[in-house]
């Protein structure tokens, strides 16, 4: 079973950039699809971005496309979310998730504890 720990969240102003990190332990994630989700208070958890095991294929929610970049470093057993041009509506708790296999659009089995991102106007 893989454990995921997010970090890098914080309070920033609109237009700023921020990089979130997800450190995996327990087993290698080199064969796992990885993704980021987010959840704002009173709202459902929503998909943000996903990446295939080899890092070649990616998928983004329309709301973040062109602003966010998901990447991974399998040698470090880590996944990242580079966020640029942040908007107040990006404010949420961001979660890292993992799924065995290459189907990045499937359901995710393992989740981190989340890291808070707050964007002020």
pLDDT tens track, the chain, 121 positions: 899 999 999 999 999 999 999 999 999 999 999 999 999 999 999 999 999 999 999 999 999 999 999 999 999 999 999 999 999 999 999 999 999 998 888 899 999 999 999 999 9
Half-sphere exposure of 79 (CA within 13 A, CB side): 35
Q: Which residues pair with 82 in a beta bridge?
A: 19, 69
pLDDT of residue 103: 86
Closest alpha carbon to 59 in 45, 47, 67? 47
Going by C-alpha positions, the residue among 59, 89, 104, 79 that lies closest to residue 2 is 79
Beta carbons of 9 and 18 less than 8 angstroms apart: yes
CB contact at 8 A, 93 and 38: yes
Beta-bridge partners for 99: 33
């Amino acid at each position: 079973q893989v454990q995921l720990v997010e970090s890098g969240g914080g309070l920033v102003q609109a237009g700023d950039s921020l990089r979130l990190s997800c450190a995996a332990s327990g087993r290698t994630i080199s064969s796992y699809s990885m993704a980021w989700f987010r959840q704002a208070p009173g709202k459902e958890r929503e998909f943000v971005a996903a990446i295939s095991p080899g890092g070649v294929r990616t998928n983004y929610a329309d709301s973040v496309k062109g602003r966010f970049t998901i990447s991974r470093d399998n040698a470090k057993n880590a996944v990242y979310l580079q966020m640029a041009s942040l908007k107040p509506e990006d404010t949420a708790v961001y979660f890292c998730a993992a799924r065995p296999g290459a189907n990045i659009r499937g359901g995710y089995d393992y989740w981190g504890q989340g890291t808070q991102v707050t964007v002020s106007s």
